[in-house]
């Protein structure tokens, strides 16, 4: 059973918060050598995947919290050197969306990540 005090959950929440903060600051406030900095370095590639898998939602219209969560989860799914199982990553993203996002955030995040996983498995 998951716990909110699980170090991996805490690390994901902190990374999501740092990525969320970048939506409102001109300069990059992310600490070097952090998960968030790794995600930020791959932002263009990740955003291209978001555009491809959520075509009805331009990046500028996605809620900043949802965008931060998507970026983090996509980085974990596609770019992280030792990724965890897809189900773990998606479940964590959905749980964090329930806690920090809007009412529609969990379904939106689940849908976009599901589309990415489906395409990745068929490549």
120 band by pLDDT with thresholds 50, 70 and 90: confident
Q: What is the pLDDT of residue 1?
A: 39
Question: Each residue of 77-95: pLDDT tens digit?
Answer: 999 988 789 999 999 999 9
**pTM of the model as a whole:** 0.90
Domain residue limits at 77: 7-122
The residue among 109, 64, 62, 59 whose CA lies nearest residue 89 is 109
Residue 2 within any structural domain of the chain: no
Residue 108 within any structural domain of the chain: yes
Q: How open is the CA angle 75-53-84, to the nearest 5 degrees?
A: 30
Residue 1 within any structural domain of the chain: no
Mean pLDDT over residues 29-52, rounded? Answer: 88
Q: What is the pLDDT of residue 27?
A: 65
Residue 41 within any structural domain of the chain: yes
7 band by pLDDT with thresholds 50, 70 and 90: confident
Q: What is the pLDDT of residue 74?
A: 97
Residue 17 within any structural domain of the chain: yes
Q: What CATH number has the domain bearing residue 78? A: 1.10.940.10
Mean pLDDT over residues 9-26, rounded? Answer: 87
How many domains does the chain divide into? 1
Sequence-ordered list of residues with C-beta below 8 angstroms from that of 91, at least 6 positions apart, any chain = 2
As a whole number, the mean pLDDT across the chain is 89
């Amino acid at each position: 059973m998951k716990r909110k005090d699980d170090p991996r959950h805490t690390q994901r929440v902190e990374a999501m918060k740092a990525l969320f903060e970048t939506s409102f600051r001109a300069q990059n406030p992310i600490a070097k050598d952090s998960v968030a900095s790794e995600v930020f370095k791959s932002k263009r590639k990740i955003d291209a995947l978001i555009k491809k898998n959520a075509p009805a939602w331009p990046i500028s219209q996605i809620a900043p919290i949802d965008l931060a969560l998507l970026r983090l989860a996509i980085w974990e799914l596609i770019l992280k050197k030792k990724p965890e199982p897809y189900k773990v990553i998606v479940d964590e993203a959905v749980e964090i969306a329930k806690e920090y996002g809007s009412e529609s955030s969990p379904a939106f995040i689940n849908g976009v990540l599901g589309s990415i996983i489906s395409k990745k498995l068929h490549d």
